[in-house]
């Protein structure tokens, strides 16, 4: 894809992202609201990894490179203790009331199927091995940020998100099983305000109802710098 084509695609993508945010705001009143008490990362397997954002993307503070936590967080949802992974690389978890969405509402069906396949094949991300946890979290980020329907698009060293310090053989093994897809494994996405990252629940306790549907702006315009907008259009 040429530079001008990428510029056009980013313009269309910005329009779509704005639409998602507006629709999500309108639908939020129909989604479940739950109180989330974040227990943090203490005692959970995982560690910091070096992440880089490219193609006009940036972290919440405007930087493009940062050490981020790769691993599950503990939290209580309506008093039930669960484990969760972030779907945004710069997620900052906080306590408070959150909205809950189904996986297929939060992501397009293509990404939702691959993430469901990942969960179904990897014990819902409940590992004791730090190396497996880190590879698992990296794969979730890769699917959300870079997956375009092809296996080649999920790559630690290319695309909009690049991550260093991952065990490549574990990542490749998890990727191969995830690519087979799977049903929505009762996964839920929990989203707070503009400064709070989206959390993918592992999994939400059975019997927890979903009162309606909504759309999440996972790629919120408040979290990204669309530098390509200032580039000239193709002749």
What's the pLDDT tens digit per position in 8-63?
Answer: 334 333 333 322 222 222 233 335 788 889 899 989 999 999 999 999 999 988 99
Choose between 64 and 14: higher pLDDT: 64
Residue labelled with tokens 């997620």: 91
- d(CA 176, CA 182) in angstroms, rounded, equals 13
């Amino acid at each position: 894809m040429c530079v001008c084509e990428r510029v056009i695609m980013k313009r269309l993508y910005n329009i779509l992202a704005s639409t998602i945010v507006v629709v999500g705001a309108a639908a939020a009143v129909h989604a479940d609201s739950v109180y989330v008490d974040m227990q943090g990362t203490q005692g959970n397997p995982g560690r910091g990894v070096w992440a880089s954002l490219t193609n006009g993307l940036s972290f919440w503070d405007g930087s493009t490179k940062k050490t981020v936590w790769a691993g599950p967080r503990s939290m209580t949802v309506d008093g039930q203790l669960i484990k969760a992974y972030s779907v945004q690389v710069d997620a900052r978890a906080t306590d408070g009331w959150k909205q809950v969405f189904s996986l297929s509402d939060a992501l397009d069906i293509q990404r939702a199927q691959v993430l469901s396949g990942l969960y179904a094949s990897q014990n819902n991300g409940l590992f004791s091995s730090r190396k497996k946890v880190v590879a698992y979290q990296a794969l979730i980020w890769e699917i959300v940020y870079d997956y375009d329907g092809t296996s080649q698009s999920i790559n630690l060293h290319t695309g909009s998100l690049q991550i260093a310090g991952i065990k490549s053989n574990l990542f490749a093994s998890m990727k191969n099983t995830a690519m087979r897809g799977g049903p929505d494994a009762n996964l839920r996405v929990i989203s707070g305000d503009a400064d709070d990252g989206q959390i993918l629940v592992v999994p939400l306790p059975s019997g927890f109802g979903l009162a309606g549907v909504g759309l999440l702006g996972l790629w919120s315009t408040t979290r990204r710098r669309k530098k390509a907008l200032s580039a000239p259009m193709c002749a």
